[in-house]
Amino acid sequence: MSAAPIDLPRWADTALVPLVSVAAALVIAGLVVLGIGESPLEATALLLRGALGSAEGISFTLYYTTNFIFTGLAVAVAFHAGLFNIGGEGQATIAGIFAALACLWLAPLPGVLLVPLAVLAAAGGGALYGLIPGWLQATRGSHVVITTIMFNFLAATLTVYLLVEVIGKPGSMQPETAEFASHAILTPMHRLLAPLGVKLPATPLNSAFLLALAALVAVWALIFRSRLGYAIRTVGANPGAAAYAGISPARITMVAMAISGALAGGLAVNEVMGVQHRLLLDFTAGYGFVGIAVALMGRGHPVGVALAALLFGVLYQGGAELSFDKPAITRDMVVVIGGVIILFAGALDGLFRRVVASLLRIGRGD
Amino acid sequence: MTAQSAPAIELSGISKRFGPVQANRDVSLSVAAGSIHGIVGENGAGKSTLMSILYGFYEADSGEVAIGGRPRRIRSPADAIAAGIGMVHQHFMLVETLSVVENVVLGAEGGAWLSGGVSRARAELARLAQDYGLAIDPDAIVGELSVGFQQRVEILKALYRGAQILILDEPTAVLTPPEADQLFSLLRALRDQGKTVILITHKLREIMEVTDRVSVMRRGEMVAHLATSETSPPELAEAMVGRRVLLQVEKAPRPRGAKVLEAIGLDLVDARGVALLSGVNLTLHAGEIVGIAGVAGNGQSELIEVLAGLSHPSRGVVRLGGQILSSADRNPACLRKLGVMHIPEDRHRTGLVTAFPAAENSILGYQDDPALGPGPFLSPSTIAARARETFAAYDVRPPDPELKTAKFSGGNQQKIVLAREIERAPKVLLVGQPTRGVDIGAIEFIHRRLIALRDAGVAILLVSVELEEVMALSDRILAMCGGRITGERMAEAADERDLGLLMAGVTEEAA
């Protein structure tokens, strides 16, 4: 009764609060831009034009969006089971190793077999690497927040070892594998759409984007329409009720972490199979962590995750263009803007819920 | 009432609206200083809103508050405390890892250094202990105290802050009957020392036992102000519900049927090696309600959990329809398929996921039923349609399956659980605290349903801390104490004194 929970109408909870958060973050970011003597309005215009003003810009934006959809969904699925999976980086890294091995070792297979198998290998690798912390949590009570972040380091170190000692390209000083065969990669979007008469400039955007859209639908069906999703949500919301309902919280913890890890593997599919066409160090580049902000902003719902992923896609691509046009606004500045949005959308969410709730009350004349 | 002094509290014309809900409508209330004043009403009648306005959690849309004859604006709990009002919440606001004295000074430390406040509080606690018989070890860790003592700490906190007026919100919901009796004598002592006590409850027995005057609320309005000595439980119940209520359960005798469930020699030991159940034998027959009488925490909850497959006995067997249940069968999902349904004693912690829409709670435990959707999927329209049907049959209000479960009143939440378990045609029904935190209208409904189920041949095991409820519903009563069954009585032959002795562990052999 004391700190009455702030109950908002659904539309306000899912749309208004995140929008207010983003707006507040942009105001702060604008002040920072102002502080270094640049015009915030001009910077915003440049950012938006860079991200959405051309076919090339849009393609780059959607390429980044693809990564954020996968990592955002990964965090969201774990959230529904009451788990905070911050190991998306590590799970994607292991998925990358599995995908690369599949692409290299199964090269004799034709592309129609090889590519799906490599995608499955990536999902399986991510799932396995998510399953282990899930299993430790379920059977030993080791908290997934601790184990998943530790596992990120283990995965990074394992990649270094493998690339230097085991699967690195022979005779090369670079810690990376040989390039995959041309039939072992995902089709770039400009080639995919060319037969349809759509002309796109060559960009990293590839068919993994379609896979990400499919993953959005699949996660929605899983969480909100399937028996397993019901069990996942029950465990997340009330483990006591789950046990009463004959749902094993331990089993669901492992299953949800595996699904979460498999989704994080989508990041490896996009980067390793779609863009780099080889395994190299640090291809996850922090996308796994931004996925936490994407899931938070998206309220764990696939529609919200899609919108938040798009927002971060715009920021990444627009920010890159912005730092190119305005040398005073460095790439680091853009990172600051992204960080402010994460701070407002994730950590300071409650701040605006209170304000929005009282504004709504005034609006209704209560 | 004699008018020797201004009333401790005078509320006039209080109204409060939450969106479309008029929680309080033109409520007036006068509480005499130095009296115990009861406020009764069903869940959702507006009692808690009214007290939250008095304690500064909400501000009234209109109306006046006067404390001790002086008009006051109370905009926050700090204002309320300054006006001499203290509140004891139903759910305690205590830090379990701190000691009693540390909890008492919390928020009133009086300076940057703890020692000054703590020693003042220690002296004050000693004085309060003497004045009111509120003895408590100031250095005990709150988390290790019994619920009854934790409640004392809450009362001490309010008194330490100089409360002249004490509001208690459903204080006995968490107490055993003896603890409740202790609380009542404490309240009488406080009144005799000149404090004013407001007791919010929906238990009429408590109103009759301890209050001087009583005010009845219904649907946000005050419908009656009565002197307790001049009223009766039926009159109060009628005022609360707005129609005549049957307080007695009508039950025709029924010959019991075949043995359905048999538990033999159940032992349960917890992780620390403490015996929770020792050698429990129990037989349930078709068409019979077996009630367990016992003070809370004497193994009744554990017995139900073992029978429902939620925990595994360290020894003993359970037979269902003559077959011994294997350990693989003893999980909730299998037992439900075998017809053992369970209405858990705590609907918030186990019976419901309050964050879900009501429709989703109407399938909890039956999420694998093939009738609910194709293959691995659930069909929301099928689930909602079935929920709408059962909500209508069980008078769940509002009958809206899309509404979040947390927004239903306690009684309606319990009906959602009841409907879910009864609709699946149980052979055995395990029922824990069926009417805890449930209003009178719903209690009547739930009791009638349980009797109807028994008449239809279901074997029912009933656990309740309300001895009255056990005696009214059961055909046969088992008393439990310290994890053992200490006696058995047919309901006709049982009386409260006799059961009380068995519940205290005084068995025939010992006596």
Q: What ipTM goes with this model?
A: 0.87
R_g (Cα) of chain B, nearest Å? 25
Low-confidence ranges of chain A (pLDDT < 50): 1-5, 365-366
Cα dist from B24 to A182, B48, B55, B449, whole Å: 73, 10, 15, 32
Beta-carbon contacts of B115 under 8 Å, excluding residues fewer than 6 positions away, are none
**A31-40, B129-138, B191-200: lowest mean pLDDT where?**
B129-138
pLDDT band at B3 (very low <50, low <70, confident <90, very high): very low
Q: Of B160, B169, B150, B152, whose CA–CA distance to B57 is shortest? A: B169
- Taking residue B493's Cβ as centre, other Cβ atoms within 10 Å add up to 8
Choose among A223, A250, A300: nearest CA to B377.
Answer: A223
**Contact between B167 and B54 (Cβ < 8 Å):** yes
Q: Do B373 and A227 touch (CB under 8 A)?
A: yes
Give the span between the Cα atoms of B312 and B332, in whole angstroms: 11
Quick one: which of A80, A86, A346 has its CA closest to A238? A80
Cβ within 8 Å of B, A 2-21: 2, 4
Contact B158, B171 (CB under 8 A): no
CB contact under 8 A, B17 and A366: yes
What φ, ψ does residue B212 adopt, rounded to 5°? -95, -45
Q: Specify the range with the lowest mean pLDDT, choosing from A269-273, B132-136, B322-326.
A: B132-136
B137 or A62, greater pLDDT: A62
CA distance B462 to chain A (A): 18
Phi-psi label, residue B104: left if phi above 0, alpha if psi -120 to 50, beta otherwise: alpha
B63 contacts chain A (CB < 8 A): no
Distance CA B89, CA B80 (A): 14
Res B409: pLDDT: 82
Across all residues in chain B, what is the average pLDDT?
Answer: 89
Q: Which of B172, B285, B177, B225 is nearest to B35 (CA)?
A: B225
Q: How far is A224 from chain B, CA to nearest CA, in Å?
A: 9
- Judge contact between B435 and B446, C-beta under 8 A: yes
CB contact under 8 A, B364 and A366: no
* Segment B450-498, tens digit of pLDDT: 999 999 999 999 998 778 889 999 999 999 988 999 999 999 888 877 8
Residue B352 contacts A where some CB pair is shorter than 8 Å = yes
Asked if B21 has any chain A CB less than 8 Å from its own CB, the reply is: no
Question: Is the predicted pLDDT of residue B2 greater than 60, yes or no?
Answer: no
Residue in this structure with the two tokens 């028996």, named with its chain if needed: A227
**Least CA distance to A240: which residue of chain B?**
B350
* CB-based contact, B373 to chain A, within 8 Å: yes
pLDDT for B4 beyond 60? no
Chain A interface test: which of B353, B366, B431 (most A C-beta within 10 Å) = B353
From chain A, the residues in CB contact with B364 under 8 A are: 234, 241, 244-245
The residue of chain B with its CA nearest to that of A362 is B19
Q: What is the pTM of this model?
A: 0.81
More confident residue, B142 or A354: B142
How would you class A1 by CB atoms within 10 Å of its CB: exposed for 0-12, middle for 13-18, buried for 19 or more? Answer: middle
- In the numeric block, which tokens belong to residue B364? 């909890």
Nearest CA among B17, B23, B83, B80 for reference residue B48: B23
CB A298 within 8 A of CB A216: no
Q: Closest Cα of chain A to B285: distance in Å?
A: 24
Q: Does A219 touch chain B (CB under 8 A)?
A: no
Bigger pLDDT: A154 vs B406: A154
pLDDT at B509: 54
> What does CATH list as the number for A62-310?
1.10.3470
Domains observed in chain B:
9-241 (3.40.50.300), 259-351+421-503 (3.40.50.300)
